[in-house]
Structure 1
Amino acid sequence: MELVEAIKTRRSIRRFRDTPVHREVLEEILELARWAPSNYNMQGWYFVVVQGEKKDQVVQAMARHAPSWLGNVKNLFPEKMVGLMQHFFATMGGAPVMIFVYTDKTREQLSYMPLEMDPGYPSACAALQNLLLAAHARELGACWVQACCIIEEEISQILGVEGKMMVAGVPLGYPDQSPPVPPRKGDKVRWIGF
């Protein structure tokens, strides 16, 4: 798959078949994720790949907490959309695998820089984009789920992760849907000196 095609045809998949994803395929996707650019070449990303009982515990935690978050978005989205979101958070779309993307906490190490955001965060986001594109190129579906960070402490405890900052959770598997292409939103580029 060509890069431009991969970028334009990748979709956030929220419904998955129960077909297992082989470890070799996951290793290939994660290897490509690791080729992302990173601040100071620190490569501070960290991936946790989970299936089985631990994945089920994470999904149960998401299902328990989702109703309280979704109360905050009822004014932003139609009722039907909120219902779909609640179902997705309660099941993670039936994904057979979840990948959690973390980053090292590097802000303290770079204390000379007046940063609001940990410098490792954008680097981990770049790795996450590589992961999503690599999964799509292997005909897998995935979805960037920032909401996992709301219960980061509980999920990290389930996964046995300490001293890292969660960037996102990614349910991953073979897609059981083909979402339409959403329109791009307006002109988001400002040109100066052209």
Structure 2
Amino acid sequence: MEFYEVIHSRRAVRQYRPDPVPKEVLQRILDAANWAPSGMNRQQWYFVVASGEKKKALGASYAKIAERYTTRWDDAERRKQFIEFAQTYGGAPVVIVALTDAAGDPATRKMNLESVSAAFENLLLAACAEGLGSCWMTGPLQDEASLRQILNIPYDKEIVAVTPIGYPAFQPPAPPRLDPELKEKVLWVE
């Protein structure tokens, strides 16, 4: 897939086919993540790739969050669907959790978060180029203690984001861009 086509076709996928993702494909997308730019070239990102029982445990944790989050929703069917998505991460066979070095200094923490965010975006774009779906998620981090326990994440690492990875059950439509002509989001100066 051509680079700009990948950029324009990547979507937040929330329904996946159960087909397994070959390890060599996962390795390629993780390699793409590893080539991201980073502050001071520290490359301070780490990834946990969960499947099987660990993925089920992550889903149970996220389902509890979804149940609390949707308590006041009027639409019972939408609430049910969201909780089911959370419990299975949309049926994706793999969940990837991105970590970075924990830092007490605000400037270092910001640099670390920016660096792992660049790596995570590379991962999502590479997944799209491989015909895989993904969904940048931070909601599961609301139960960080469970994530740490399930995946044995030490406290010298900060959990940044989570994504299911799998073959999309369907391709979601493109959401409209806010300011598609970039007249309000870009300031040209000379």
Q: Secondary structure at the match of 1:115?
A: helix
Percent identical among aligned pairs is: 40
Code of the aligned partner of 1:104: D
- In structure 2, how many angstroms separate the alpha carbons of the residues matched to 1:125 and 1:193? 27
1:154 corresponds to 2:151:
no
- In structure 2, how many angstroms separate the alpha carbons of the residues matched to 1:184 and 1:84? 26
1:128 to 115, 120, 124: 120
Code of the aligned partner of 1:97: V
- In structure 2, how many angstroms separate the alpha carbons of the residues matched to 1:34 and 1:132? 12
Q: Secondary structure at the match of 2:68?
A: helix
1:175 corresponds to 2:168:
yes
TM-score, length-normalised on structure 1? Answer: 0.87
- In structure 2, how many angstroms separate the alpha carbons of the residues matched to 1:4 and 1:83? 36
In structure 1, the partner of 2:22 is 22
Deviation digits for residues 122-148 of structure 1 (CA, Å, limit 9, x no counterpart) = 111110100000000000111111112
Pair 32,65 (structure 1): closer, same or farther in 2 beyond 3 Å: same
1:45 corresponds to 2:45:
yes
1:102 corresponds to 2:99:
yes
Deviation at 1:158, TM superposition (A): 0.3
Q: Secondary structure at the match of 1:119?
A: helix
Deviation at 1:149, TM superposition (A): 1.3
Q: Secondary structure at the match of 2:97?
A: strand
- In structure 2, how many angstroms separate the alpha carbons of the residues matched to 1:191 and 1:36? 26
Deviation at 1:152, TM superposition (A): 1.6
Deviation digits for residues 27-75 of structure 1 (CA, Å, limit 9, x no counterpart) = 1110011111111111111000010011101101111221213348x59
Code of the aligned partner of 1:171: P
- In structure 1, how many angstroms separate the alpha carbons of the residues matched to 2:118 and 2:49? 18
Deviation at 1:151, TM superposition (A): 1.1
In structure 1, list runs of 5 or more residues that go unmatched: none
Q: CA RMSD for the aligned pairs?
A: 2.2
1:86 to 61, 83, 98: 83
Code of the aligned partner of 1:166: I
2:61/2:140 contact within 8 Å kept = no
Pair 117,51 (structure 1): closer, same or farther in 2 beyond 3 Å: same
- In structure 2, how many angstroms separate the alpha carbons of the residues matched to 1:80 and 1:185? 29
- In structure 1, how many angstroms separate the alpha carbons of the residues matched to 2:89 and 2:110? 28
In structure 2, list runs of 5 or more residues that go unmatched: none
Pair 33,41 (structure 1): closer, same or farther in 2 beyond 3 Å: same
Deviation at 1:85, TM superposition (A): 3.3
2:16/2:92 contact within 8 Å kept = yes
How many correspondences in the alignment? 186
1:193 corresponds to 2:185:
no
Code of the aligned partner of 1:2: E
- In structure 1, how many angstroms separate the alpha carbons of the residues matched to 2:171 and 2:113? 30
- In structure 2, how many angstroms separate the alpha carbons of the residues matched to 1:121 and 1:70? 28
Deviation at 1:116, TM superposition (A): 9.0
TM-score, length-normalised on structure 2? Answer: 0.89
